[in-house]
A = this chain, B = another copy of it.
Amino acid sequence: MCVDCQTFLHGLIAKGLLFETGVEGLYGRSGIFEDVVTRFDQLISRYGGDDGAEVIRFPPGMNRELFEKSGYMNGFPQLAGTIHSFEGDDRDHAHLLEKQAKGEDWTALQKATDIVLTPAACYPLYPVVARRGTLPESGGIFDLSSYCFRHEPSQESTRMQMFRMREYVRIGTPGQVTAFRALWLERAHKLVGQLGLPFELDVANDPFFGRAGKFMASSQRDQKLKFELLIPVESTGKPTACLSFNYHQDHFGLLWDIKTPDGGTAHTACVGFGMERVTLALFKHHGLDTAAWPKSVRDALWG
C-alpha cells in the first residue's frame, strides 16, 4: 500500500524521534516530537481561539453504555477497543498466573469493564451537551482533544493505534453548523499553508465495516458530508488524511435528543486535527532536524 513507509518510520526511530514498543502503531514520542505536537496545538488555538469555544478534555476512555448507544459498533466494530479487567478471587488469580506461566492465553478470563477507548475526541461530548437541555440561541461550540484508539496495526507511521485528535465541534441550527464547517475549510487552507505543506481537499468516507458498510460509505460520499485535507506523507499516490471536516447533519442531535430553541433537532459538525499525522507530515517535508526547517514554518510554530 505504501512505497517507502518502512523507510520513513525507521528513519524516525533511528533519529530518536519515535521509540518502538514492539507493537505496530504504538510508539513512544521524544521531547522534540512532542514539542512539535504542542506547538501545532497552539497554532490551532490561534485560529480557533476567538470563537469562544468551551474547552473540555476527556480522558482516553468513555462510558461503554453511551458508546453502544452511539452506534459505533454498527459502523466500525473492527476499530473499537473495549477495556477488560480481572474480577476473580485468589483462586482465579492463581489460575490466571498458571496460564501466563505456561504461555497460554489468559485474557479470556478478563471481564469487560464499563469503559471503552475513545474512538474520536467528540464521542463523549454529545451526552454531556444533551444533559444541559435545549441549546441557547447561539448553539454550542466546543474545543476538545484526547488520545483516541483504533485497532488497525500497521507499519505506516501515519496509522497509529493510539494517537491524539484535537477537535472543534459546533452544535446548533443547520445554518450555524454549515457556516462553521465552511469557515474551518477556509482557515485550514491558510493554516496548513503556513506550515509549508502541500495538500489537497477531497470528499471522503469513513471506513465502514463489511458489506453493509460499502453502502454507508458511498452514501456519505454522495452527500459530501465529509471532507478530508490530504497531505502526502507515506506516499504521493495515496496522501494521508490529516484534517477532517465532518457534517453529521442531525445524526447526533436525534441520537442524544439535542434541541435548538425553535424546537428543531440540533445539527452538528466537527473539524478534527490528526496531531501525530500533521507532525509526521512536517518531519516528512521539512526533514528530521527541526532546527533546519524553513524560517516561515519555524515562525508559525515557535514564533
Chain A, interface SS category: mixed
Give chain B nearest CB distance to A2 CB in angstroms.
Answer: 21
- Identify the stretch in A107-115, A172-180, A198-206 within 8 Å (CB) of chain B at 4 or more residues: A107-115
CB proximity to B under 8 Å, residues A49-97: 54-66, 68, 73-74, 77-90, 93, 96-97
Q: Which of B19, B54, B61, B86 contacts A78 (CB 8 A)?
A: B86
Instruction: Find chain B residues with CB under 8 A from A57 CB.
Output: 28-29, 31, 33-34
User: Nearest Cβ in chain B — how far from A69, in angstroms?
Assistant: 10
Whether the Cβ atoms of A128 and B55 lie closer than 8 Å is: no
Cβ of A223 under 8 Å from chain B: no
Complex CA distance for A166 and B31, rounded to whole angstroms: 14
Question: What copy number does this chain have within its complex?
Answer: 2
Which chain B residue lies CB-closest to A151?
A: B85
Residue A84 contacts which of B73, B81, B86, B211 (CB distance < 8 angstroms)?
B81
Residues from chain B with Cβ under 8 Å of A87 in the complex: 78
Whether A77 lies near B55 (C-beta < 8 A) is no
Smallest CB gap from A106: residue in B: B73
Number of A interface residues, CB 8 Å? 74
Q: Contact check, B110 vs A149: say whether CB atoms are below 8 A apart.
A: no
- A78-B86, A85-B80 given; A56·B19 CB < 8 A: yes
Contact B26 A61 (CB under 8 A): yes
A56-B19, A74-B97 as given contacts; A110 in contact with B82, CB under 8 Å: yes
A54 contacts across to B, CB distance below 8 A: 31
Which of these, B29, B89, B112, contacts A56 with CB under 8 Å?
Answer: B29
Most interface-central of A54, A110, A128, A212 (chain B CB within 10 A): A110
